[in-house]
Every structure is written in C-alpha cells, then in structure tokens.
C-alpha cells in the first residue's frame, strides 16, 4: 500500500502532466492558426505524450492501492509572438517538470518507498530525453532566425514526428 504522502505527490504530478498536455495542445492550435502544420503536429504529439505520462502515473497509483484525486486543470497561457517563443516556453516547461519529477523521487526516498523510486526512474530518464529533444529544437530555431526558407524546412522536419506510446 502506498503512503498518503506519496499518493498525494503523485496525484499532484498527474495534474501537472495533464496541464502539460493541455499547454502543448494550446501550442499546437497556435501553430495551426499560423499555418505551421509541422510544428502543430509536433506539439500535438507532445500533448499526447504528456497525457500518456499522466495515465501511467494514474495506473501506478491505482496499482499501489492509492486513491486518485483529479483536480481542476489550470488554463494555460496561449499568447505568443513567435514560433521561437513557443519552443523556448516548451523548454522552460520541461525543465520545470524535471524539477517536479526530482521532487517526487526525493519523497520516494524520504518515505523509503523503493517501488515508487524504481517506477519514477523511468520518468527521470524520460525528462533527460525531453529536455535534450526540445533543446535541440530551440537551437535550430535560433539558427533559422527570420529566414522563411529555414522556417519552412524546420516545419517540414517537425511534422515527421508521430507519437508512439513507449513500451513498459
């Protein structure tokens, strides 16, 4: 049986993952409205991935005998000036999520909940990949600057991403 403290912080993270999905869905629609369908598709895949993360945590909590407490999801900001601004906000958000995951690991260690610690290591590794991936996009966007041909090529490249739920 999972402790009340561990259950509480996982419930908080479920909400954070749902917010991330909602935020990225808003970013996807912003890109669609700007006729950047590749970026829109990339962000939609990002939204699906965050939803997958929330469900993975929800299922884990239920498996451990915890109680799921779904709270309201905050309304995300949806006003950006440039595609780079959206991607930079994505990078900052992923860094914030990494901090939240690290906090969860700290609670698992404090509670001596070895099962939760093992479970959370998947998310620790996932955040390394997330930050690296979006960091690469930020750097490429900075190289492109205001070059419309570069933006067109980047949009085409971003559109190749498809969300495939990971195994395990």
- In total, how many domains does the chain have? 1
The phi, psi pair for 64, rounded to 5°, reads: -90, 5
pLDDT digits (tens, 9 = 90+) for 95-115: 999 999 999 999 999 999 999
pLDDT at 167 over 80: no
> What's the CATH code of the domain at 98?
1.20.1260.10
Query: In the structure, what pLDDT confidence band is assigned to residue 168 with cuts at 50, 70 and 90?
Result: low
pTM over 0.85: yes
- Rounded mean pLDDT, 87-93: 97
Number of neighbouring beta carbons within 10 Å of residue 143: 10
- Rounded mean pLDDT, 134-156: 95
Would you state the pLDDT for residue 55?
97
Q: Residue 127 is part of which domain span?
A: 4-158
């Amino acid at each position: 049986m999972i402790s009340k403290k561990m259950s509480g912080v996982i419930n908080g993270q479920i909400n954070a993952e749902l917010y991330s999905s909602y935020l990225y869905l808003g970013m996807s629609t912003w890109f669609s409205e700007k006729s950047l369908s590749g970026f829109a598709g990339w962000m939609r895949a990002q939204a699906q991935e965050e939803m997958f993360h929330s469900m993975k945590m929800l299922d884990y909590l239920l498996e451990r005998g915890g109680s799921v407490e779904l709270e309201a999801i905050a309304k995300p900001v949806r006003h950006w000036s440039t595609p780079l601004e959206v991607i930079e906000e994505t990078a900052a958000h992923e860094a914030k999520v990494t901090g939240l995951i690290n906090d969860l690991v700290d609670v698992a260690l404090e509670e001596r909940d070895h099962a939760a610690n093992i479970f959370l290591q998947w998310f620790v590794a996932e955040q390394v990949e997330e930050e690296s991936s979006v960091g690469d996009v930020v750097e490429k966007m900075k190289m492109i600057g205001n070059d419309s041909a570069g933006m067109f090529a980047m949009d085409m490249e971003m559109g190749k991403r498809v969300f495939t739920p990971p195994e395990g």
